[in-house]
Every structure is written in C-alpha cells, then in structure tokens.
C-alpha cells in the first residue's frame, strides 16, 4: 500500500528523473512547464498522438472524432460543444442533478455503514456524464460495467512500433473491446439516439444528431466522453478524498472554506496528482521550442511526450515546494492553477469545470459523514490515459443519519 500525505502519493512505474528537455529515439520527453505549453499551443504544427489516437480507424466515419481531430475542424467542434461545459452552464443546468445523485449515493453508503470509494465514484461520475451526454436510457450501474469492460485492454507502449503489442495482444484487445462495444451501443447509445431523433433534448447527443452524425459517429463520441467522464473523474474523486482523509489540516481547510476555497484545494490536488500523467503530440510541421536561453528544433514525425507529472511540479513555475500541496499557492500570471492536468491549447479539456464541480459536490457530502479509511487504495497504472488507478479503497461512515449539506 502506498501512503498518502501532504505530498504526492503516486510514484508511477515509469517515474524517472531526467533533463527538462530530453531527446529520445522516438522523439522528445519534455518536463519543462513552459516548453510543454509551447508544444500544446503550436497550432497546426502537431497532431493528437495520445489515447492511441493514431491507431483509431476513422475511414468508416463521416465525422472525425473530437478527441483526435485537429486544426480548423477541431476548433469548430470545440466551439459547438463548449456550451455544454461552460462554468455557468455546469452550475445552472447540471449542479442540481449532481447534488441529487450525490445525496442518494451517500445515503445508500451511510445505510450500509461505508462504501468502496472507487465503486461509488464510478457510479456517480457515469451518471453525471450520462446526463450531460444524453445517455439516460439504461440503469447507470449496467452502463458503468459496460464502459469498464471496454477499457480492459492489454498493456502497450506508445513509444514502440505498433504500440509494442504482439499479434496475440492485438487480437485480445479487439476481442475484449468488441463485446462491450456492441453492448454499449445496443443498450445505451442506440436507444438515446433514437429518442433524440424523435425529440431533441439539451444534451450532446441531440447536438450531434443536429450536426448530421451517424450512429457510428455518435458511438465513438460517446466513448470519448465516457473515457473523460468515467475514467479520469473517478480517479480524481478517489485521490482527492484519500488526501483529505490522510491530512487533517487540509481536510479542515476544505470543510471550513467556501466553494471557491474548495475548488482551489481540488485544483491544487489535481496539479500534484494529475490523473492523466502524459500528453502526447506528433510533430507535423517543424517548429522550435525554448526553455530559458536554450532552443530545440522539433521535426516532422517526432513523438513528443509531455510528462504532466513533471511539468506540474516544475520548480521554476510552482516553486521549490512544488511537490507539496498548498491551496493558496501563488503562480505566475497565465499559469493554470491545475498545471497541465487538463491540457492546454486547442486540446485543453473542456470538461474541467464539470469535473471539479462534481468532485466538490460529492466530497463535501461524504466528509459530513465523518468517513474513516478502512482500507487504503491500491495503486495501479492505466496505459490508455497514461495515469494512475486507485482500487480497493474503502471507508467507514460513522454517522447514523446523513447530515444536511447546503445544495
């Protein structure tokens, strides 16, 4: 078991020390916050290479998936879906549902005397994301299991040819994905699409229907939102709760603070413990990056590994205590409080306001029940998002009845 503290809890299997800019046989590793932002903001000079984007077949799709599109197409897609994730929209449209969902799940956990946090976080994040996307036609627990099953894939190494997989591993990856993908389409996506074609709602699927997306196109987009909404937010919830329960001072600050203060703590936590540990870009046009007084020329074909876990603790940006959790940390102008945990540039995650708010809503209600750790989480690693997983995390809830929390 790893030990959480006021410092980073996760030491990934691939963690290593190295120079701020490192030339590799496959391309580059970048640990400098400033240089990483230059890569992410190099519009038109790079393409998406993370999340196995370069291995996703798109020839049979009428619309390029938003996760792996670039350039003007991506800008247009982001502009149109951005309205679903704007902070004001998240607060007004989705927060009441978050509150109702969190209250119900916490009440169920209180009645049971405790809960496995990774399961509770899974159900909560899938239900919240499902409401935003429009996947509301099947029981949440069943949809969550289908999404979980789809993402159970053999390991891979993005820096190696063919992801470093053997033919047998590729066959197993296809086999593992096919059944859950078909089930997800038949039980979750198709009923939602049919309903939205008959009558539109204010959700992502209705928007995609209006844009002329086919059922196949919509299925791929739903998987994208499922990844962001389930895989990453689930881990953020568990990691944040772990830190709060292991650090009484941080927990006291969280519970005594207003919503703004709680958001600041969560952003600091995800800076130190980014769920997505690496972002990858493929250079398509030559350009130059700078770090201090040094320059490096990136050439077409280079794979760039932006090591978010390192960029987010760059002492030149976040101070000598960058590995520590400091909710009132002062950062230079233009630096994101969460570092690059939600990316930057054209592919910056639009769901940050949603993820932070849904995490705050659930944790605020859980902490009122005075949770105590029964079993600390077991750390794992997910190649798809290049980040950690927390499993077997269980808490006991001491109170007999839920206490009221202001909505």
pLDDT tens, 253-267?
A: 999 999 999 999 999
- Hey, what are 43's tokens? 């519009």
Does the pLDDT value for residue 128 go beyond 90?
Answer: yes
296, exposed or middle or buried, with CB in 10 Å at 0-12, 13-18, 19+?
Answer: middle
Q: How many CA atoms lie within 13 Å of 284's alpha carbon, on the beta-carbon side?
A: 14
Put the strands of the sheet holding 114-116 in their side by side order: 114-116, 394-397, 371-375
Give the largest CA-CA distance in the chain: 63
What's the pTM value of the predicted model, to 2 decimals? 0.91
> How far apart, in Å, are the Cα atoms of 72 and each of 44, 132, 387?
9, 25, 29
Question: SS3 of 75, please?
Answer: helix
Q: CA 296 to CA 275: how far, in whole Å? A: 28
Q: CA 286 to CA 46: how far, in whole Å? A: 9
- Hey, what are 242's tokens? 């772990």
Percent of the chain at pLDDT > 90 equals 65
Average pLDDT, the chain: 89
332, exposed or middle or buried, with CB in 10 Å at 0-12, 13-18, 19+?
Answer: exposed
121: which residues sit within 8 A by CB, 6+ positions away?
233, 234, 235, 237, 238, 362
126 φψ region: left (φ > 0), alpha (ψ -120 to 50), beta (else) = alpha
Average pLDDT over residues 136-156: 87
pLDDT score for 1? 43
- Hey, what are 40's tokens? 């992410």
Question: SS3 of 325, please?
Answer: coil
Average pLDDT over residues 32-36: 97
pLDDT score for 302? 95
């Amino acid at each position: 078991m790893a030990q959480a503290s006021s410092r980073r809890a996760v030491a990934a299997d691939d963690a290593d020390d190295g120079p701020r800019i490192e030339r590799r046989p496959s391309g580059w590793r970048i640990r400098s916050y400033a240089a990483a932002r230059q890569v992410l903001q190099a519009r038109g000079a790079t393409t998406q290479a993370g999340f196995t984007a370069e291995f996703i077949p798109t020839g049979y799709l009428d619309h390029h998936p938003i996760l792996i599109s670039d350039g003007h197409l991506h800008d247009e897609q982001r502009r149109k879906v951005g309205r679903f994730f704007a902070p004001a929209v998240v607060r007004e449209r989705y927060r009441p549902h978050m509150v109702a969902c969190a209250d119900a799940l916490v009440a169920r956990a209180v009645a049971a005397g405790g809960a496995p946090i990774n399961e509770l976080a899974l159900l909560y994040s899938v239900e919240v994301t499902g409401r935003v996307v429009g996947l509301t036609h099947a029981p949440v627990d069943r949809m969550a299991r289908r999404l979980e099953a789809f993402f159970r894939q053999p390991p891979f190494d993005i820096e190696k040819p063919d992801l470093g997989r053997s033919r047998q591993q590729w066959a197993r990856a296809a086999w593992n994905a096919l059944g859950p993908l078909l089930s997800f389409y038949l039980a979750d996506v198709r009923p939602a699409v049919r309903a939205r074609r008959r009558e539109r709602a204010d959700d992502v699927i209705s928007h995609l229907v209006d844009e002329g997306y086919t059922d196949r196109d919509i299925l791929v987009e739903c998987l994208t939102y499922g990844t962001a909404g389930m895989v990453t937010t689930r881990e953020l919830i568990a990691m944040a709760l772990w830190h709060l329960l292991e650090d009484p001072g941080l927990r006291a600050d969280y519970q005594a603070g207003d919503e703004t203060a709680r958001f600041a703590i969560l952003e600091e936590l995800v800076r130190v413990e980014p769920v997505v540990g690496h972002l990858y870009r493929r250079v398509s046009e030559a350009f130059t990056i700078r770090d201090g007084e040094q320059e490096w020329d990136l050439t077409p074909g280079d794979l760039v590994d932006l090591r978010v876990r390192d960029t987010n603790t760059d002492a030149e940006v976040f101070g000598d205590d960058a590995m520590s959790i400091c909710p009132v940390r002062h950062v230079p102008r233009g630096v994101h409080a969460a570092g690059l945990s939600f990316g930057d540039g054209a592919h910056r995650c639009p769901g940050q306001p949603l993820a932070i708010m849904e995490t705050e809503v659930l944790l605020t209600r859980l902490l009122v029940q005075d949770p105590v750790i029964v079993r600390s989480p077991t750390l794992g690693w997910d190649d798809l998002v290049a980040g950690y997983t927390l499993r077997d995390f269980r808490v006991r809830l001491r109170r007999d009845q839920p206490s009221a929390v202001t909505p």
